[in-house]
Amino acid sequence: MAIRKKSTKSPPVLSHEFILQNHADIVSCVAMVFLLGLMFEITAKASIIFVTLQYNVTLPATEEQAAESASLYYYGIKDLATVFFYMLVAIIIHAIIQEYVLDKINRRMHFSKTKHSKFNESGQLSAFYLFSCIWGTFILISENYISDPTILWRAYPHNLMTFQMKFFYIAQLAYWFHAFPELYFQKTKKEDIPRQLVYIGLYLFHIAGAYLLNLNHLGLVLLVLHYFVEFLFHISRLFYFSDEKYQKGFSLWAVLFVLGRLLTLILSVLTVGFGLARAENQKLDFSAGNFNVLAVRIAVLASICITQAFMMWKFINFQLRRWREHSTFQAPTVKKKPTVTKGRSSRKGTENGVNGTVTSNGADSPRNRKEKSS
Q: Which domain holds residue 313?
A: 52-58+69-328
pLDDT of 346 reads 43
Does some domain include residue 272?
A: yes
Does some domain include residue 211?
A: yes
Does some domain include residue 36?
A: no
Which pairs from 196-202 meet CB under 8 Å and 24+ separation?
Answer: 200/176, 202/307
Does some domain include residue 131?
A: yes
pLDDT of 369 reads 44
pLDDT of 345 reads 45
pLDDT of 60 reads 78
What is the reported pTM?
A: 0.81
Each residue's pLDDT tens digit, 293-333: 999 999 999 999 999 999 999 999 988 887 887 777 666 55
Does some domain include residue 186?
A: yes
- Reference 257, options 313, 299, 197, 179; nearest CA is 313
Task: Work out the number of other CB atoms within 10 angstroms of the CB of residue 231.
Answer: 20
Does some domain include residue 319?
A: yes
What per-residue string of b and e applies to 331-343 under the rule 16 or more CB within 10 Å gives b? eeeeeeeeeeeee
Cα–Cα distance, 113 to 123 (Å, whole number): 15
Does some domain include residue 109?
A: yes
What Cα–Cα distance (Å) separates residue 220 from each residue in 74, 95, 143, 215, 237?
16, 27, 12, 9, 26
Averaged pLDDT in 10-residue chunks for the chain of 374 residues: 49 59 85 91 92 90 62 94 96 94 88 85 95 96 85 90 96 96 89 92 97 95 96 92 80 94 96 91 89 95 96 91 77 52 45 40 45 44
**Number of domains, the chain:** 1
Does some domain include residue 16?
A: no
Residue type for 342, please? K
